[in-house]
Amino acid sequence: MLTGRDLTIATLVGVFRGRVCLTGVLVLGETSLMALIPLFIGFAIDGLLAGTLDALWQLAGLMAALIGVGVLRRIYDTRVYGTMRVAVGQAQAARSADLPVSALNARLAMGRELVDFLEETGPDAMAAGVQLSIALIVLYAFSPVLALAGSAAAVAMAAVYALFHRRFYRLNGALNQQSERQVGILATRRARPVLAHLLRLRRLDVRLSDTEAVLYGILFVVLLSLILFNLWFATTALTVTTGTVFSIISYSWEFVESALALPATLQRWSRLSEIMRRLNAPSPESR
């Protein structure tokens, strides 16, 4: 199925396009329903305060639909992406038969990360995009200023991540290269090389983790500033009900949670870019 093709995200989407599209439709449906929950909670609050249950029943119906779509998607995804992992493993084993066992073992694990991206990161990014869009639309409906603040925060986040991309790519490349040596090092049964290998992996993990910590620290400053601004603006510059204030803050926080998927997706893509280059190398690379 994947014989003679480069192992890339685009290839997997092309070969399994029907199944991937169906999972995408289910993700969009689930995310759209989830994104409407805070708005309907706000309606329910105002309805209950006014002595009516109509909005509460609407909220209950929305939640029931969300549960149904979510369960169906997870049952379907397990089967689709399990089949995809088998196909990727077969293709990788066939094309890398001349590699040392250590490198082949590592690359089989790396190949699974391509499918993991489609199963986990891709839907998360799609869901985040839908939630961001709905959050901005709802905030704009309350006040264009709220939506403008959210858009400015998103642009700032993208600019911050751009400063970190090359470092993530380089560190992931070093980590993958060291992982390819693992089986061979373990086969020597010598304590000193094994310890050196494990310490090298630890150093790389720490450097990646420290980079992530700095990145997310900066991003949280941007996003929490958005929450504080929208809370201040909603309560001082707008004439709104209690339910509306709840919806504004809920959608501001939903914007924050969704926006955090952006750097996570880009960071994962940095790693996958290095992995795809490595998997599709025409010959074993010198180490």
Distance of CA 103 to the CA centre of its chain: 27
pLDDT in tens, 262-280: 777 877 888 888 888 877 7
| Torsion sign across C-alpha atoms 56, 62, 63, 64 | positive
Contacts of 125 (CB under 8 A, 6+ apart): 261, 262, 265
Please give the share of the chain, as a percent, with pLDDT higher than 70.
95
Domain 9-279: homologous superfamily in CATH = ABC transporter type 1, transmembrane domain (1.20.1560.10)
pLDDT in tens, 176-193: 888 878 777 877 778 888
Closest CA to 135 of 26, 238, 198, 223: 223
Contacts of 178 (CB under 8 A, 6+ apart): 197, 200, 201, 204
Closest CA to 211 of 165, 173, 178, 176: 165
pTM of the model: 0.65
